[in-house]
Amino acid sequence: MGDSIERVGVVGSGLMGSGIAEVCARAGLDVVVVEIDGAAARRGRERVESSLATAVRRSKLAKEDAEAAMARLRYETGLAALVDRDLVVEAIVEDESAKVETFRALDGIVESEHALIASNTSSIPIMKLATVTSRPEQVVGLHFFNPVPVLKLVELVTSLMTSGETVEKATAFATQTLGKRVIRSQDRAGFIVNALLVPYLLSAVRMLESGFATRDDIDAGMLEGCAHPMGPLALSDLIGLDTMKAVAESLYDEFKEPLYAPPPLLLRMVEAGLLGRKSGRGFYEYTGR
């Protein structure tokens, strides 16, 4: 298998897709980002520009390096633009059917016999995505964490079909090219981090829902009592309540454990569009998002 990853494709330019595109461009790679339409592509570009500007303002990045990174980014509105990519990272909504269709389409578009197709899914088993392609041995999970330019961790998730060559290539890409810390997970819903984190967050939602404690006291308890950098309800807002719901449902579908089931309060908030920071209101209210 060819070892060089120089041309990267990213499908989706939300918080995660934009972050992945940014770190790849900052690492000197040629990056094509695909969005559903021109408006979404513009929002994705603006998101990266804002992130780079913040890094420059905080003296984390030189202005010329930020400009060079933007010059390596190209935004398109069709998957056909990914035909020549060495690696494509899918970073769309956390919905199994949407991801399956994206992987099926990418398999017919990406031409290189050495190319890897990766998912940034936070919970969906990689085997479900790999089996709709003709190259399941080259499908892998690369789960980044938000904000991608800041957090060093990447979960590398392999299915039963993922080849050793793919593991080596994906690991080298994440560690050597992007400077990330890789941890390995078996192909189980939620992987390592969310299998541990999501039950904790759901417990906080249930505690609030039952009237056991207030929002502020729940978060203060973990901030001051356990030295967590963020309370569970504030963290839920940062992750996105729709994403939390999707991850919880994937975990419950796989393991059938009650602790993984999304509580009614979470379901109602998602139905109401109260998704956290991304919508301006969740457990907290946000301005200037």
pLDDT at residue 3 tops 80? no
Domain with CATH 1.10.1040.10 in the chain: 193-271
Q: Rounded to whole angstroms, what are the CA distances from 1 to 30, 52, 73, 116, 132?
A: 20, 34, 26, 10, 21
pLDDT for position 4: 84
Domain with CATH 3.40.50.720 in the chain: 7-185
- Number of residues that make up the chain: 289
Sheet of 181-185, strand order:
73-76, 30-34, 7-11, 87-90, 116-119, 139-144, 153-157, 181-185
d(CA 44, CA 14): 6
pLDDT at residue 180 tops 60? yes
Cα dihedral across residues 13, 15, 16, 22: positive or negative: positive
Mean pLDDT of 12-40: 97
Tens-digit pLDDT profile for residues 109-155: 999 999 999 999 999 999 999 999 999 999 999 999 989 999 999 99
Amino acid at 269: M
Instruction: Share the mean pLDDT of the chain.
Output: 96
pLDDT at residue 253 tops 90? yes
Query: Using 50, 70 and 90 to split pLDDT, how confident is the model at 21?
Result: very high
pLDDT for position 279: 94
Tens-digit pLDDT profile for residues 46-102: 999 999 999 999 999 999 999 999 999 999 999 999 999 999 999 999 999 999 999
d(CA 53, CA 204): 35
pLDDT for position 265: 98
Q: What is the architecture, at CATH level 2, of domain 7-185?
A: 3-Layer(aba) Sandwich (3.40)
pLDDT at residue 2 tops 60? no
CATH of domain 193-271: 1.10.1040.10
pLDDT at residue 1 tops 60? no
pLDDT for position 289: 56
d(CA 120, CA 113): 21
pLDDT at residue 11 tops 60? yes
Tens-digit pLDDT profile for residues 254-289: 999 999 999 999 999 999 999 999 999 999 999 865
d(CA 94, CA 181): 23
Catalytic residue ranges:
122, 143, 155, 194
d(CA 218, CA 225): 10
Tens-digit pLDDT profile for residues 191-241: 999 999 999 999 999 999 999 999 999 999 999 999 999 999 999 999 999
